[in-house]
Amino acid sequence: MLEQLIATDKELMLTLNAGNCHNIFLDICMWMVSEKFIWIPLYVTLLYVLVKYKKKESILPILSMLLILIVCDQISSSIIKPLVGRPRPSHDPEIMGMLKYVYDYKGGPFGFPSSHAANTFGLATFVTLLFRKRSIGISFYLWAVICSYSRIYMGVHYPLDILCGSALGILVGWSIYKGHSMILRSKTYDRYIGNTVNWNDSNCGLVLAALYTTLFCIMCVATQTKLFE
């Protein structure tokens, strides 16, 4: 069963990575999407909205999001990856020569599970539950999917790496949100901080604008770079 699963995972990897989808435009887009620092405007906007509209109440969700990133990253990178020891596809002698890479980037030796998938899906889950807005939920999960797929496109993660990393992130994000909610309902929190405020459309609009503007800028940069190639 396990051997069949691994074989199917490798076949799917070759289909998704080594097909005819690679081009200069997508190479640049996927490379930029995969970079953590490119999303700083989104994170800053999210922090701005939290601080502006929740004031001192923003401390708890901000700490919760930081905790999600730390827990997801440490569990995936420091515990599971060295414990499982599954090579990245870019380090797997069986298929590494059949894959397409971006700027010859091949990552570290181990890839199961994907830290990118865990981090983005963990954050997407928490933000979705925090805002309780369909537009936020759809947009952040779409963001997580794009970021995760970029790792397959670049040849550094198997689909199973992404799937398990996503599941880990969702579990961590949901668990920390539950803890966050328990603290919100506690009498001590209510006494010293106060009741939470409801989100309105303008709050969500700022966050969504930052997300989609960043994606638009990535595509513009890729388009301009392609024109000068």
Can you tell me the mean pLDDT for 138-142? 97
Question: What pLDDT, on the 0 to 100 scale, is given for residue 219?
Answer: 94
Distance separating alpha carbons of residues 161 and 213, to the nearest angstrom = 29
Residue type, 200: N
Q: Select the more confidently predicted residue: 183 or 120.
A: 120
Can you tell me the mean pLDDT for 78-93? 95
Residue type, 74: Q
pLDDT band at residue 183 using 50, 70 and 90 as cut-offs:
confident
Q: What is the mean pLDDT of the chain?
A: 89
Work out the percent of the chain whose per-residue pLDDT is above 70. Answer: 90
Choose the weakest-confidence range: 11-15, 56-60, 109-113, 192-196. 192-196
The structure tokens listed for 192 are 């010293």
Distance separating alpha carbons of residues 105 and 190, to the nearest angstrom = 49
Question: What pLDDT, on the 0 to 100 scale, is given for residue 46?
Answer: 94
Q: Which residues pair with 110 in a beta bridge?
A: 87
pLDDT at residue 229 tops 70: no
Can you tell me the mean pLDDT for 57-67? 91
Up-side HSE of residue 207: CA atoms within 13 Å toward CB?
28
Distance separating alpha carbons of residues 216 and 51, to the nearest angstrom = 26
189-209 pLDDT, tens digit per residue, is 554 444 444 556 677 889 999
Question: What pLDDT, on the 0 to 100 scale, is given for residue 191?
Answer: 47
The structure tokens listed for 40 are 């700083």
pLDDT band at residue 226 using 50, 70 and 90 as cut-offs:
low
Contact 207, 49 (CB under 8 A): yes
Cβ neighbours for 180, distance < 8 A, ≥ 6 positions apart: 60, 61, 64, 126, 130
Question: What pLDDT, on the 0 to 100 scale, is given for residue 91?
Answer: 95
Distance separating alpha carbons of residues 21 and 85, to the nearest angstrom = 29
DSSP 92: -
Distance separating alpha carbons of residues 169 and 73, to the nearest angstrom = 9
Contact 97, 147 (CB under 8 A): no
pTM of the model as a whole: 0.92
Question: What pLDDT, on the 0 to 100 scale, is given for residue 187?
Answer: 53
